[in-house]
Amino acid sequence: RPENWAMVEKEYYYIAGFCLTVSAESIQLVAEHAAANKVVSMNLSAPFICEFFKDRHDVLPYMDSVYGNAVASTISRVHGWETDNVEDIAYISQWTASGAHYSITVITQGADPVVAEDGKVTLCTVIPMPVYRLVDTNGAGDAS
């Protein structure tokens, strides 16, 4: 509908991986539209998204940035990569369909986060927080 498409005319997009469960076609449409000159980011949301909706990973090459918390081993397993090395798995930053923007992947795995930018992997140091200061770890990796 035209009123919905008006939202697509924006410059930046952030798509939650949970959207893959209901409307991968909409994500694909927006991503193809944005590929030439807009920035699209996706958070893979949860390991079950990577596992049960693997057939919808074809939208990932359209993403300029992909974020995932504790999803690396699941992505590796469902794609048959046979590695749990987060640095190897982060190469999804090279899956770019548009080439119009940089491509970055941020994977957080507890205290072992990794960032891949255009295929170059950087491990980031995490400053541990004392356990007594933790209130809720839900979503903690999303802030990386």
Supply the residues annotated as catalytic.
Answer: 142
In 44-136, DSSP assigns E strands to 65-69, 104-108, 114-117, 120-123
Q: Give the 3-state secondary structure of residue 110.
A: coil
Query: Which residue, among 92, 90, 133, has the nearest Cα to 113 in the 3D structure?
Result: 90
Strand order in the sheet with 39-43: 12-16, 39-43, 65-69, 104-108, 114-117, 120-123
Q: Which residue has the tokens 């509908």?
A: 1
Q: How many CB atoms lie within 10 A of CB 13?
A: 20
